[in-house]
Amino acid sequence: MKISNSDIVRLTEIKQYLLEPPHSFKLYKESLQLIEESTAILAKYSFIEASFVDSFDVLKEEVREYEKDPVNLRSTLVKTGKLLGGLFNR
């Protein structure tokens, strides 16, 4: 099974946002929504390894922990974007 083209495009857009998060006071809210959207997309595909999903979930929890800490939040978003990018490099 393959990931649909529309899902690849959306995941790529989200990955780019996470790799270069904007300087915004709404960063936490916007990024969490995008990460939740990514999770929903990834959940549609059973062939994605559990270890990848687990790593993604750990980073999602880190994002939640850094709601009030924009420096660490941005760092975690970049790590999440790199992980998401690794999905396509397999």
Query: pLDDT tens-digit profile of 48-89?
Result: 888 998 999 999 999 999 999 999 999 999 999 999 998 877
**% of the chain with per-residue pLDDT over 70:** 98
**% of the chain with per-residue pLDDT over 90:** 74
Amino acid at 61: E
Whole-number Å distance between alpha carbons of 37 and 31:
10
pLDDT tens digits for range 26-45: 899 999 999 999 999 999 99
Whole-number Å distance between alpha carbons of 38 and 25:
22
What pLDDT is recorded for position 90?
Answer: 61
Whole-number Å distance between alpha carbons of 1 and 13:
22
